[in-house]
Structure 1
Amino acid sequence: MDSPPFNFYLSLCFHVVGLCYGKGLLPADSMVGEVSHNVTFTIVNPPSTPFRVVAWTTNGTNVITSGGSGADDIGTGYVGRITLNSTTGSLELRNLVLSDTGEYVVTILAVGQPKEGTATLRVYAPVSKMTITANNIDLVEFNSSVSLSCSSSGTSLSYRWLNGSSEFTASDGVQLDDGNSTLTIVRVTRYDQGPFWCIVSNPINSDNESITLTISYGPENITLKVTPLDVLYGSGSDLTLSCSSESSPPAQFQWALNGELLSNQGPVLRLEKIQANQSGRYSCWAHNTRTLRYQTSEPSDITVLERISSAKLTISPNPPIIEGGSVTLTCDASGSISNRDWRKDGQPLSPSERIIFSEDNKTVSISPLNLTDSGIFLCHLANLLSNENASYNLTVNLKGSTQGGPNVGAIVGGSLGAVAVVAVTAIGVVAAMKKGCFKKITSGGSTVSNIPSCVNT
């Protein structure tokens, strides 16, 4: 007697619900498969008695039916792709395609009650062929926005974006679109250079790619450094001025003196054997050719002094200098003169009605001259680096003197005459005293002096 047909057993199962479902016949968890790979549906609790019929179906379609009176019945599209284990009822499905996704049902008819189990298979194409593109590669800080698009082959793809170790989320400055596959950064900053990582994943695998942006910024925080740094510099000194700034691409530098551009360019300005006429306020200008922005440094004051040399003191007119006339003394020297100080015979020379100083103290004019103006005049010239003295021995001659120097004869003769008068007077006083020839002269009741009242007798 032939065995009942397979659909008979299926019909029987459907009518005797509760007796036909094998507990734990297939794993409860869903199965994951990768395109072109294989999966095996393993029966975990096969019946202990021999099978009469094993049938596998998916989505109502026959995969394979084995047993009964005929040969195995293999469904369309599964020929050459499946292997049924007749002992356990497990099924191997090879060379997976996406359409293999679905719910698989196994029905086992053995001696005793028939058993049935279900399993869900999800087939995915793997993540592959990733690319990241940017819609703008010429980015300027605070001016530009950029959209990064991540694409990949595969199915059921999930996208994430990382900046370093931090994951991007939508915010005021960040937009995520197209299922997170597109990242838009509004008004980029220099800190948005990346690298940015796009991570694409599905249950099969994951992959990642990165992109680094070039963002132009600056210049800013410009600094000017002078080496060596000092308050004053002597003429002939060598100085180096260096300028730096935060800028990408690196800034171009120009130099200015007192606000006027110099021909010098570059981050370093060398001033060799600097002279006093190069004193002033130096500054550097930084320019970014991509951002088209400028920044100017704080100025640095460079003061160059020439050391004082060749000091001299001259007079006008030329000697002889005559009492009652006038004379102008001029003090001058080579170098940078900050201060002139005048002295006569070691004492400070002060202005008066007769002694007039020029505004810069370079000249002293004396008029009218007195004999007491004779003496050694000294001019002290100084700056913060050096000082020198110049002196002149001025001789004022008596009026009427024709000598180029002091009227020695007049001065000496006057002295001798005075001595003779004193001597004669003294002799007369002694003789008068002997003769008692004195009389008193009074004024206002007071005796002024006693003078001789007699003549030689």
Structure 2
Amino acid sequence: MAAVAELSFLLFALSNNIHAEERITVQQENTAYTFSLPENTNSCLISRFVGEEKLVLWNTSDLRSNNSSVPEHLKRLVSTGKTYSYTICSLTHSDSGLYQEECWTKGNLTHEKNISITVCSSMHKMGGTDTRLGKTVDMQCDRAAHNLDIQWLKHDIRYEQEIWTRVFGDNVTSVTDNVRGRYQLVTKTSTLRISNVTITDLGEYTCLMMNQQKCVKSDEKLLRLKSETIYRSVEETAVLPCNVNDFTDDPPPLWKFKQKSLFHTDLGLQNQTVPSVDQNYSLAFSSLMLNHSGWYSCYASKTQQVYLLLVCPKFGPPAVELFSEGEKVTVRCRDWREGTGHYWFIKSNRTEGRVFSVKDQRMSRVSWYYNNGNLVISNVSVEDTGEYWCVVYDPYHQCVSTERTVLVYMEPFGIYSTFFKVRCSVLSVLLLMLCAAVVAVNLRTRRGAQLSAQRET
């Protein structure tokens, strides 16, 4: 109910100032907030809405005047700068509310802005949540108590300051542009669920935990694109798409390359074929080399898309591993050793013949052991058949070797089955016995012929 009351209050306050731009900012208790007003103006007013009243807090010309009528307790709270900036020092919960800036030049209103300030007892940055475009993602509101009202805000990247927009105005209806129906609030957990994620959904979110109209805590989250691991062999081609440039007014995306802690913004390395950037800002490699391996990041609109490209020598003949349904299968990375890292990739009918990182596939029955290089598949099924590739790399993400294991399903009566092997063994024994019998018969026949010949002579 507190969120509903607050939204109704803001809508009432804005009804008389429909042309004013509204910004939402979240501040921690005991910090400061600065109103930065435009210069080249004759005078400015900073007001605050309290209920249905609009109270003028500071008149810039009066505040700077020697004969200022501003009460002394307000002067102590406000720090005036040389460039028309005014700061509320040591914010408290009572400073939360809707403020307005108005400035005049030669009698004309030239600046108007509404600012909603929310002061929280504590603010936490809770890390990032990885997702892929087109997927559904849940943003958790950590440590949200059932007796608190939850408000979700999204950082507006158009502004350098931390300006936020409301995702939900009343915990039900989405008020963010073009997301109506894609954003849902899971009531029991206060989770923000975003369906069919697009580029515009990426960025910073904050979950406000409100006790009536008082902000108890703010938890900030970062929704970002999940990094993708790509395997290629030398002399092959590769294209790394850049899908983060969704704002036509922004500058073109910038590609960066990283090997361990070394960055190259121009992607130019000594003795390395430099990839090209096509019209869609994708990074294209015409003939891959071993030292193309590394991290590639496409930066645009304060968002980045990250790839780990592993270029390896061409692999030799694969090993074959047989399994029956329901078994536990261990696929070994024999070239793994201390001081190296490794990745597992899979190529199967389930992935339509494409090579995917096992880690990216999130296979629930697969355990990846980093300390010995083994990949363990429990309760194995026919769907798990395919090629499993182990890529071993050094600390600079240079590929050292590639091993390939083909996982083959052993059908109950197939050529690899126990029944087939037993049958083959029995048939082999019978064939040997038949051959022995034929040989014995032949020997008897010859011996009989020899005896007959001796008697005749």
Say yes or no: TM over 0.5.
no
- Please state which structure has a larger fraction of its residues in strand: 1
TM-score (norm 1): 0.29
- Please state which structure has a larger fraction of its residues in helix: 2
Higher RCO, 1 or 2 (CA under 8 Å, sep at least 6)?
2
**Which entry has the higher C-alpha Rg, 1 or 2?**
1
TM-score (norm 2): 0.29
